[in-house]
Amino acid sequence: MVDKKLSGAGLRGQSAGETKLCTVGKSGSGLTYCGYDVSDLADNATFEEVAYLLFNGELPSQAQLAAYKTELTAQRDLPDALKAVLKLIPADAHPMDVMRTGCSFLGNLEPEVDFTQQNKAANRLLAAFPAIMCYWYRYSHDGVDIDCTTDEDSLGGHFLKLLHGKTPSEMHRKVMDVSLILYAEHEFNASTFTARVCASTLSDMYSCVTGAIGTLRGPLHGGANEAAMDMIQKFSSPADAKVQMALMLARKEKIMGFGHAIYSESDPRNVIIKTWSEKLAHEQGDTSLYDISVACEEFMWDTKKLFCNADFFHASAYYFMGIPTKLFTPIFVCSRLTGWAAHVMEQRSNNRIIRPSADYVGSEPRKVVPISQR
């Protein structure tokens, strides 16, 4: 086997197509959606505006946003047949498997019959994902058959109310909204590339998204926010974090929530969610988990020059809002659905089946020896 880095393993550094949707790490850092800096969007737009931007290429006017939100709000409830399926999934199932099944099953009930329905299918999934996650969670964990509609205006607020059964604070609504914006789109990351490969065969939207969910599930990708949470909860103090992490590195373990395939200097989403994590820590009057997280960040930079990616401070931020760890990656799904669907639409608009080649490193040509002689 040749050296992974020299051989271009993981297609690193190779262009696999064009996109108008996003730039990532152009100068070591930096993230833009359709030309807008992500920090500008996080400060001055809502997640629904970002979803509209990714699907339409432009930010909405006031009237367009109002119409879009009305459309989304009307589609939040789930069909009874889907609720019945979600009720069958046990409490110890992984919620990403629930999301995958929920997406796939909805595709059976409301198929995307042809590509003129692509926006309809994408918006339906966007509106329904919080309920798919929370309906299953509340039924399997609390035995409650929740109402899948709420009076919350934003998707983030809607999710929090479904989960906690009470009206979220203004600050929690804002943090959810920012989080959904930060996770919305990221060029040809592994899950989006999965969706584009699937789209390139002219498959349907639900298949593209179902495949992408499976790819996001892994701890080297979206699953890192859960893995980071599991790790920081094991540390008793900032000093302990540094000792434990040194031991992990000595054992050649990966530290989840650090490093990135594209950014070389920093992940611009980190500073934004870190700021909110700190505010949430102060709001709830216990900064110990935030302090431990900061110690992890300092240690990884000092010892390995590795920086936090988007996932690391999302862990503590979600924790401070009372979100169970196992739902962290499904929230990523609720957001990244917008990027996936936008890429599916872009792929379809100028399609050629994605089919790279492989360098063959197997046996020389040989003949089949009859089974009795092997």
Ligand X SMILES: CC(=O)SCCNC(=O)CCNC(=O)[C@H](O)C(C)(C)COP(=O)(O)OP(=O)(O)OC[C@H]1O[C@@H](n2cnc3c(N)ncnc32)[C@H](O)[C@@H]1OP(=O)(O)O
Range in contact with ligand X (rule: CB under 6 A) among 132-140, 215-223, 272-280, 357-365: 215-223
Cβ 276 vs Cβ 169: under 8 Å:
no
Element (H, E) at 154: none
The sheet carrying 36-37 orders its strands as 22-24, 31-33, 36-37
Kindly state the number of chain residues that form the binding site for ligand OAA, as judged by CB under 6 A: 6
- Minimum separation from the CB atom of position 296 to ligand OAA (A): 18
- If one asks whether residue 257 binds ligand X (CB under 6 A), the answer comes out as yes
- If one asks whether residue 25 binds ligand X (CB under 6 A), the answer comes out as no
- If one asks whether residue 221 binds ligand X (CB under 6 A), the answer comes out as yes
* Residue nearest ligand OAA (C-beta atom): 189
Q: What one-letter code names the amino acid at 83?
A: K
Q: Quick one: angle between helices 118-142 and 205-216, nearest 10?
A: 50
- Minimum separation from the CB atom of position 233 to ligand X (A): 16
Is residue 265 classed as helix, strand or coil in its secondary structure?
Answer: coil
- Minimum separation from the CB atom of position 186 to ligand OAA (A): 3
Q: Strands, E, within the chain: which ranges?
A: 22-24, 31-33, 36-37
Rounded to the nearest 5 degrees, what angle is found at the Cα of 80, between the Cα atoms of 74 and 83? 100
Kindly state the number of chain residues that form the binding site for ligand X, as judged by CB under 6 A: 16
Q: Strands, E, within 44-152: which ranges?
A: none
Range in contact with ligand X (rule: CB under 6 A) among 18-26, 65-73, 152-160, 218-226: 218-226
Cα–Cα dist 312/267, whole Å:
11
Cβ 235 vs Cβ 241: under 8 Å:
yes
| Contact flags string 81-120 toward ligand OAA, x per CB under 6 A | ----------------------------------------
- Give the nearer residue to ligand X in terms of CB position, either 121 or 296: 296
* Residue bearing tokens 């990708």: 221
Q: Which does 212 bind (CB under 5 to 8 A by kind): ligand OAA, ligand X, none?
A: none
- If one asks whether residue 271 binds ligand X (CB under 6 A), the answer comes out as no
- If one asks whether residue 314 binds ligand X (CB under 6 A), the answer comes out as no
Q: Which of 103, 311, 319, 340 binds ligand X (CB under 6 A)?
A: 311
- If one asks whether residue 255 binds ligand X (CB under 6 A), the answer comes out as yes
Question: Which ranges constitute the DSSP H helices of the chain?
Answer: 38-44, 47-56, 62-73, 80-88, 95-109, 118-142, 155-164, 170-183, 190-200, 205-216, 224-232, 238-250, 268-284, 288-304, 310-320, 328-349
Cα–Cα dist 264/276, whole Å:
23
**Residue 313 has what DSSP assignment?**
H
- Please, what sign has the CA dihedral across residues 295, 296, 301, 304? positive
Q: Which does 258 bind (CB under 5 to 8 A by kind): ligand OAA, ligand X, none?
A: ligand X
- If one asks whether residue 224 binds ligand X (CB under 6 A), the answer comes out as yes
Distances (CA, A) of 268 to 112, 263, 272, 307: 35, 9, 7, 10
What tokens does 5 get? 């880095």
Q: Which does 21 bind (CB under 5 to 8 A by kind): ligand OAA, ligand X, none?
A: none
- Minimum separation from the CB atom of position 19 to ligand OAA (A): 12
Residue 143's Cβ-side half-sphere holds a number of Cα atoms within 13 Å equal to 0
- If one asks whether residue 310 binds ligand OAA (CB under 6 A), the answer comes out as yes
Range in contact with ligand X (rule: CB under 6 A) among 55-63, 73-81, 93-101, 221-229: 221-229
* Residue bearing tokens 């102060």: 282
* Residue nearest ligand X (C-beta atom): 259
Among residues 175, 170, 161, 132, which one has the least CA distance to residue 276? Answer: 175
- Minimum separation from the CB atom of position 78 to ligand X (A): 27
- Give the nearer residue to ligand OAA in terms of CB position, either 59 or 262: 262
- If one asks whether residue 186 binds ligand OAA (CB under 6 A), the answer comes out as yes
Residues 256-285 that bind ligand OAA (CB under 6 A): 261-262
Element (H, E) at 3: none
Query: What is the set of active-site residues?
Result: 260, 311
- Give the nearer residue to ligand X in terms of CB position, either 110 or 267: 267
In the complex, which residues of this chain contact ligand X (CB under 6 A)? 220-222, 224, 254-261, 306, 309-311
**Which chain residues interact with ligand OAA by CB under 6 A?**
186, 189, 261-262, 309-310
